[in-house]
Chain A
Amino acid sequence: GGGEKNASTEQGESENDSDVIKIKVGHISPDDQAYAIGFKEYAEAVEEATDGKVQFEIFGNGALGGERELLEGVQLGTLDMSLITTGVVTNFVPEVAVIEFPFLFRDLDHTYKTLDGEIGQELLDKMSESNLKGIAFWENGERYVANSQRPVKAVEDLKGLKMRTIESELLLDMYSALGTNATPMAFPEVYNGLQQGVIDGSDFSTGVYYTTKVYEQSKHFSEVPLYYASATLVINQELFDSMPEDVQKVIVDLGKEYAAKQRQINQDLMEEYKQNLVADGVEIIPAEEIDIDGFRQAVESVYEKHADSYGDYIERIQNVE
Chain B
Amino acid sequence: MMKIICWLDEHIEKVFLVFFSVIMVAVIFLQVVMRQLDHSLSWSEELARYCFIWLIYIGISFGVKEQKHVKIDALLVFLNKKGQALLHFIANLFFMAFALYVLIFGYELANQLLQFGQKSPANQIPMGFVYMATPFGMGLTLIRLVQNQIKLIRTFMDKSEVTHSNRETISENKERRITS
Contacts and interface: CB of A to CB of B under 8 A. Distances in A.
Interface of A: 72, 75-76, 90-92, 94, 129-131, 162, 166-169, 172, 181-186
A167 to B, nearest CB: 4
Interface stretch (B53-61, B64-72, B114-122, B154-162): B114-122
B40 interface: yes
Given A75-B118, A168-B122, 19 more contacts: A72-B127, A76-B109, A90-B121, A92-B116, A92-B118, A130-B116, A130-B118, A131-B116, A162-B35, A167-B42, A167-B45, A167-B46, A167-B121, A167-B122, A168-B42, A168-B121, A172-B40, A181-B38, A183-B40
B136 interface: no
Interface of B: 35, 38, 40-43, 45-46, 109, 112-113, 116-122, 127
A166 B121 contact: yes
Given A75-B118, A131-B116, A184 B38 contact: no
Contacts of B112: 76
A65 to B, nearest CB: 15
B157 to A, nearest CB: 44
A203 B122 CA distance: 19
16 contacts: A75-B118, A76-B112, A90-B121, A91-B118, A91-B121, A130-B116, A130-B117, A130-B118, A166-B121, A167-B42, A167-B46, A172-B42, A183-B40, A184-B41, A184-B42, A184-B45
A15 to B, nearest CB: 32
A114 B177 CA distance: 64
Given A167-B45, A184-B45, A186-B45, A91 B119 contact: yes
A158 to B, nearest CB: 14
B120 to A, nearest CB: 7
Contacts of B43: 167
A237 B109 CA distance: 16
A24 B38 CA distance: 45
A44 to B, nearest CB: 32
Contacts of B120: 91
Nearest to B41: A184
Contacts of B117: 130
A14 B45 CA distance: 53
Contacts of B109: 76
Given A167-B46, A169-B42, A172-B42, A184 B118 contact: no
The 10 closest A-B pairs by CB, nearest first: A167-B122, A183-B40, A181-B38, A91-B121, A130-B116, A167-B121, A172-B42, A167-B42, A92-B118, A183-B35
Contacts of A90: 121
Contacts of A92: 116, 118
A166 B42 CA distance: 8
A77 to B, nearest CB: 9
A167 B109 CA distance: 24
Nearest to A185: B45
Nearest to A172: B42
Interface centre among A94, A169, A172, A183 (most CB of B within 10 A): A183
Contacts of A168: 42, 121-122
Nearest to A167: B122
A284 B41 CA distance: 31
B107 to A, nearest CB: 13
A181 B45 contact: no
Given A167-B45, A167-B46, A172-B42, A184 B116 contact: no
Find the residue from B40, B109, B119 having the highest chain A CB count within 10 A.
B40
Contacts of B45: 167, 184-186
B113 to A, nearest CB: 8
B133 to A, nearest CB: 15
Contacts of B113: 72, 76
A306 to B, nearest CB: 14
B121 A75 contact: no
A91 B109 CA distance: 17
B116 A182 contact: no
Contacts of A72: 113, 127
